[in-house]
Structure 1
Amino acid sequence: MNKPTSLYSRFFLLIAIGFVTLQGWAQQSNRSYTPKFEEAKKPVVKVPKGEDYTFGYLQVPENRQEPGGKWIKLPVYIFPSKNPQKAKDPVIYTVGGPGYTSMRAAQYIRAYQYREDRDFILFEQRGTQYAQPNLACPEWSAALAEIYGDGDSPINPDSILAEAALKCKKRLVAKEINLDTYRTTEIAADLRDLVLALGIDQYNLLTLSYSTKIAQVMLRDYPDGIRSVVMDSPLPLEVNYEEETLANLVELAGRLLDQCADDPECNAAHPQLKSRFFSFLKELEANPVSVPLPVDSAASRDTVTYQGGDILSLIANGSTEEMAQVPALIEQLLNGDNSFLEADAANQQWTTGPGNGMGMRISVWCAEEKPFIDRDALAAQAEKYPEAAGIDPEFIPKAVCDCWGVTPEDSHENKAVSSDIPVLLISGEYDIETPVKWAAAMQSNLSNSYHLVFKGWKHGPTTNWGQPCAMEAARAFFNDPSKIPNNPCFEEIGGINFKSN
């Protein structure tokens, strides 16, 4: 029996005990303990030769209610500005996930333009790869390999993932790790402690995807000293991510094909492409496409089955450059040419790995996202969007959160943050993980904010190394947060130039 790729987008869409209690932990941070920063001789990631830097560890209590108990260590790089007349307010950068490491950016430090004006600091979130402890879950990686690599027998993917999560939890708890303390409010408190430990009076925040939630908590709980904030691909606190998964997928495809219809050359080559494609996707709900795997494939199954949602996911997860080819690829599919799917099937490799930071990812999601999901709204997506059949909108299955057992956040952590601190919101027009509409809605609560939408671009515009326009905009904003950056490169970006073949 061949297994459909129904979970394809779940892992690639990427994506409190009570307000009084957890807020109390954070607000007591300066009363009951003193955070420490200690330099270390051996950095966790190699820095390019000749670059000046300081590496060390921020040390804070794992549980701020028990500062006399276990402490954790969070790696930090400090890269001094190249400018002898540098600004005194550094940029502090932490990345997304949740669960990804910020430390890998040290390898590419020469690409970050912010150092032309001020110091640049990389901060590792608790529970991620180079933090001590790292909430790694190799059991999770093994479970994914089992789900996707063996299609010979019917399985329940959620139960396999829940079993893996339970094994990981038992191992972490046996190490006396308190899973309840790995959440956004505590990471924000860590970041505030870093500022205190380094003696920084004023600073700027550069955040990406999930870490924009950290920035929002900082604006709400620790506004003192924040000069400006850049949120690249913002994820609002108030958004219930899983309730919008399928809508975001279908809307992105629809917007792209509407632009093709508005482009005379693209429309001539692919007339009525949107209606033809969406009809094709709906038909796949009952008659999915099966694509053979190469004979030398390591997987035990011999085919991969694609429904409409799987194809939408492939399109949505393509690079910025690949968006221009989408109409031509769709036309091939409609004409019975499955080479696009065959190439994807051949490239699917599911291997085991260390699962770095996965425990932190599960803790954050199960404490902050899952408690606020409307199960009826979640289920209604399948009926509302038949084009996306085969996609499970749950980023982390409920069964996983049930066994993980962290305390849900208070509803306060699911509400929009208001602030008058200068904020630059940066979006990619074709970002499926944090769509433009989310950032646009945030502006009503951020009274001193600006929003740049990069036409044709995807998730994380400031990390587009081939075209650093978004990075240039962020740098300009840090230099003058009183106005929207006026970058010539932004005006020159014309969106997608569709390719006919």
Structure 2
Amino acid sequence: MDCATIVVPVNYQKPGDGNLSVSISRRKATDPGHRQGVLLLNPGGPGGSGMTMPNWMKSEKIAGPFDLIGFDPRGVGRSTPLRCEVPPNEPLRESRPADRQLAQIEADAEAQEKGCAAAGGGIRKYISTANTARDMDVIRGVLGEKKINYLGISYGTYLGAVYGSMFPSKLNRSVLDASMHPDWLWYEQAKQVSVAAKENAVALATWIADRDSRYHFGTTPAAVLAAFEDLRAKVAERPVETPGTWMPVDGTTLDYILGSSGYRPAWDVSTQLIGQIRDAANAPAGQAKLSSDAGKALKILYGTIKPTTEGVFPAVSCETPWSKDLKGYEEQMRLFREKYPYGSGAMQAGPTNCAYAQWTPPEKAVDLKRNGYPVGLVVGAEFDPSTQYDGSPAMASKLNNSLISVKDEGSHGQYGRNTCVTQKVDGYLINGVLPGSRSTCDGSPRPDVPADGTAAAKTFKPAGGSLADRAAAGAAAAKGPLNRY
């Protein structure tokens, strides 16, 4: 790739107040004879680095006619960074906090805000979606392009919608993949993550119940969910060790696993792992540990939860007002620990640093509209664990864009992963052909494990190989993490 650095104002309203650097990357069109301009890419976040995205896309058809442009948004990575001081105490991580722990969650959020305020300096309040959109237009200008094309994932969908609303004459074709909801900024968007986690856990339980002869969790969804709850109680009291490879599996970690087991092809491996956690939890004292193979598979499937010190998310997510009513957050956390406990559970309903922010964003959120640029595409997947599916049809309606819905999917971001979606998006970006105002694609197939009572179940032979190898093969086939959460 070609890489460069551009200079943009800290504050576009007062350009003389100082500058920031923004790093950009380019992978030139491989078919220059049919070049159609540039395609800007953004992976989401807010706070995700996009510098290597052109290389992610190098094998896709869009690499032929488009210069693929990646960038680190202001505050991120190689661009002028925005940082937060690390709080003195590690934040509480509890998907189902007890009442006595709610005050600690609030104190953690306040400590994070203090750390971000201390390290953010004079640039923090100017790290915003609107200013990133302005930076994108500077990128367009320095590349000498009259218009850009755009592909954004997750938060990148909102960024793209903001850019089109602010610079409609500068946007040509646009694809918003795994869209945020235009009306859920930002607290409701956070809560919907746990709603989606519950939906995925119920879907997994329903599938497991039809295959009790293999997994032995129960013959009804209710029985499987009850078995999950029983297992959660055991590991909350006595966590299962995963020596050298992952964190101990306690109650909160198990909720995370259950809530982020959305990707359908991984269900067999995921369920076997949950079964091994159950076996370890039922082992005698001192023997409650997983094998190295299981630990490696867990890491491949679910990653590792790491604390972050980047300051972009805690800044951008405060660009719309947050309630200061702590009692209201506590009420929501009590509701979510009972009704939506999987994934991050009640933590998604708790206050963030934004509830304690003492600064006022210098401008209101942009009014989203499509007025002056072509009809674009929005892609949404059922059971998306990060941007709940309802956000995609809502964004399509808001912008009068076409919508591609992916049925029974459970993963986050479909372009380059789902063949049907990729073909429709390529047809639109390359040829300008819309797939229709509303269209559907099938999601990734569920594992070929027949249900109990079917003829195929009598002759079924389970897949061989280690769990880690099977998880790695699944990740390779999916062209990305199996359970992005």
Partner of 1:103: 51
Partner of 2:267: 323
Counting only pairs closer than 5 Å after superposition, residues 62-461 of structure 1 correspond to structure 2 as: 62-108=10-56, 110-131=58-79, 133-137=80-84, 139=86, 144=90, 156-160=104-108, 162-173=110-121, 177-239=122-184, 240-258=188-206, 272-281=219-228, 288-293=236-241, 305-306=250-251, 310-318=253-261, 320=263, 321-327=265-271, 342=290, 355=309, 358-368=310-320, 370=322, 376=328, 379-380=331-332, 382-383=334-335, 386=338, 388-389=340-341, 391=344, 393-395=346-348, 398=351, 400-408=353-361, 413=366, 417=369, 421-453=374-406, 455-461=408-414
Alignment check: 8 A CA contact 1:94 1:208 kept? yes
CA-atom RMSD in angstroms? 4.2
Partner of 1:9: none
Partner of 2:446: 496
Does the residue aligned with 1:228 lie in a helix, a strand or coil?
strand
Q: Which amino acid aligns with 2:48?
A: Y
Unaligned runs of 5+ in 2: 94-100, 451-461, 463-485
Does the residue aligned with 1:252 lie in a helix, a strand or coil?
helix
> 1:274 Cα shift?
1.6
- Greater CA drift, 187-196 or 64-73: 187-196
Q: Which amino acid aligns with 2:445?
A: G
Q: Which amino acid aligns with 1:78?
A: R
> 1:134 Cα shift?
0.5
TM-score of the superposed pair, with normalisation by structure 2: 0.72
Partner of 1:478: 429
> 1:159 Cα shift?
2.7
Does the residue aligned with 2:397 lie in a helix, a strand or coil?
coil
Give, in whole Å, the separation in 1 of the partners of 2:223 and 2:113: 42
Give, in whole Å, the separation in 2 of the partners of 1:284 and 1:388: 17
Does the residue aligned with 1:483 lie in a helix, a strand or coil?
coil
Give, in whole Å, the separation in 2 of the partners of 1:296 and 1:360: 32
Give, in whole Å, the separation in 2 of the partners of 1:362 and 1:60: 22
Give, in whole Å, the separation in 2 of the partners of 1:335 and 1:293: 12
Does the residue aligned with 1:250 lie in a helix, a strand or coil?
helix
Alignment check: 8 A CA contact 2:6 2:23 kept? yes
Does the residue aligned with 2:192 lie in a helix, a strand or coil?
helix
- Greater CA drift, 85-94 or 231-240: 85-94
- Kindly tell me the number of residue pairs found equivalent between the two proteins: 424
> 1:167 Cα shift?
3.2
Give, in whole Å, the separation in 1 of the partners of 2:317 and 2:240: 35
**Distance 1:312-1:102 versus aligned 2 partners, 3 A rule:** same
Alignment check: 8 A CA contact 1:138 1:352 kept? no
Q: Spell out, residue by residue over 1:27-70, the C-alpha distance to the aligned partner (whole angstroms, 9 max, x if none).
A: xxxxxxxxxxxxxxxxxxxx4xxxxx3x2223211111211111
Kindly indicate whether structure 1 or structure 2 has the higher relative contact order, using CA contacts under 8 Å at least 6 residues apart: 1
- Greater CA drift, 229-238 or 328-337: 328-337
Does the residue aligned with 1:128 lie in a helix, a strand or coil?
coil
Q: Which amino acid aligns with 2:250?
A: T
Does the residue aligned with 1:275 lie in a helix, a strand or coil?
helix
Identity level (%)? 16
Alignment check: 8 A CA contact 1:78 1:122 kept? yes
TM-score of the superposed pair, with normalisation by structure 1: 0.70
